[in-house]
Amino acid sequence: MIKPHGSEELMPKIVNTEEEKVALLESAKSMPKMIINSAAAANLVMLGAGYFTPLEGFMGKNEVISVADNMKLDNGLFWPTPVVNLTHQKVDFKEGDKIALIDPNVEGEQIIAIQSVNKIEKLTASEIDNIVEKVYGTKDKSHPGVQTFYEQGDTLISGDVSVINYSYFEKEFGETFRTAMQIRSSIESKGWENVVAFQTRNPMHRAHEELCRMAGDRVNADGILIHMLLGKLKPGDIPADVRDTAIRTMVDHYFPKDYVMITGYGFDMLYAGPREALLHAVFRQNCGCSYLIVGRDHAGVGDFYGAFDAQDIFDSIPNDALLIKIFKADHTAYSKKLNKVVMMRDVEDHSKDDFVILSGTKVREMLSKGESLPKEFARPEVAEVLMKHYMKE
């Protein structure tokens, strides 16, 4: 199986034994406590679950700037986005202390991790601007990822972490949330050697379904990993539980048995377009996948990125930066001429009117009114799941 990024084996930061967890929580009673933001909590889940191998914890100032400017860790290893614990709070601890990090997304002041404080550093306004511009390609605060980063504060707490739990993800998404370790183990037990990963933060319509099928066929894959984001999205996006049901319904009805693995991961969407596509590749490599499908406007939002910027960025990084390969996908839609879903670049004789294309706004409008989606656009079983959600709103 493909090796993890920068390591011979996964390096999850989750506490391994119940005894160790109990001992850490006992010692945490005398530690300073810090309520972290949702982005930092999501980073901890990814560190704990092995997705961020080989990181040991939160980055310091020099490393954050190096990652933003050059996509390199202090040791020179490729890494595309900062992994930080930022705060605007006044801190009551010092360098060298151990602190208990409180999960903001769970009631009852639950400790999600223990952090060894390496450094406490301030980022200047111009340094934050530079980081944001390099990572997101814009400083426009109407971009949801940019706004989230600016809101986190200017005090950077770096250091190694011991993660105690996976926040709310295991409880709320027990059927779907999986660590990188669990996914690797499942791939191994199935005997799969060539796996294609499909990233999604949306329900899957027929175009997505066929794209997975096309990619699997073209690279001769043993199986498909549908890997859905379970964390925080922007307002108006479909909740994770509804997406989960819709995707499972589609796979049950329209894919061969034991060809698709449906899983999810606990991370908040960055909407960072090209940089986030690179990050997606890192943690799919850590999952044991050989290919990641990168489609049109992958991980984008609004009009902030060009349609294929997230594909082009892979051509600009060193060949040895990642072991995983990219399956570059064009926009996929149902052809009225051919009566099947096609990749638009494969049918040069088509005009726009030859395709069944609906905007997200139009889809939401139809579902809210109880109108059926065209069968060429969405499978009826999937449309029914989504309609129930929109009719309840």
DSSP sequence for 68-124: HHHSB-TTS-B--S----EE-SPP---TT-EEEEEPTTSSS--EEEEEE--EEEEPP
Alpha-carbon span 129 to 352, nearest angstrom: 40
* Helix residue spans in the chain (DSSP H): 18-28, 38-48, 61-70, 125-136, 144-151, 169-172, 180-190, 206-218, 240-254, 274-287, 309-315, 360-368, 380-392
Do residues 316 and 274 make contact, with C-beta atoms less than 8 angstroms apart? no
- Name residue, tokens 């020179």: 76
By annotation, the residues acting in catalysis are 201-202
Asked whether 196 and 289 are in contact (CB, 8 A), the reply is yes
Distance CA 85, CA 102 (A): 12
